[in-house]
A and B are shown apart, each in its own frame.
Chain A
Amino acid sequence: RKEVEQDPGPFNVPEGATVAFNCTYSNSASQSFFWYRQDCRKEPKLLMSVYSSGNEDGRFTAQLNRASQYISLLIRDSKLSDSATYLCVVTHRGYQKVTFGTGTKLQVIP
Chain B
Amino acid sequence: DTAVSQTPKYLVTQMGNDKSIKCEQNLGHDTMYWYKQDSKKFLKIMFSYNNKELIINETVPNRFSPKSPDKAHLNLHINSLELGDSAVYFCASSQDGVSKFFGPGTRLTVL
B34-49 interface bits toward A, Cβ cutoff 8 Å, 1 = contact, 0 = none = 0000001111110000
User: How many Å from the CB of B42 to the closest CB on chain A?
Assistant: 5
| Contacting residues, chain A, for B98 (C-beta < 8 A) | 32, 34, 49, 91, 95
Select the stretch in B14-22, B61-69, B73-81, B100-108 that faces chain A. B100-108
- Interface residue total, chain B, C-beta cutoff 8 A: 19
| Contacting residues, chain A, for B45 (C-beta < 8 A) | 98
Cβ 8 A contact of A43, one of B40, B42, B103: B103
Whole-angstrom distance between the alpha carbons of A43 and B55 in the complex? 23
Q: Which of A32, A46, A49, A87 has the most CB of B within 10 A?
A: A46
**A-B residue pairs, 10 tightest by C-beta:** A95-B97, A43-B102, A100-B43, A102-B42, A46-B99, A44-B102, A43-B105, A43-B104, A102-B41, A103-B41
Instruction: Enumerate chain B interface residues (CB-CB to A < 8 A).
Output: 40-45, 55-56, 90, 96-105
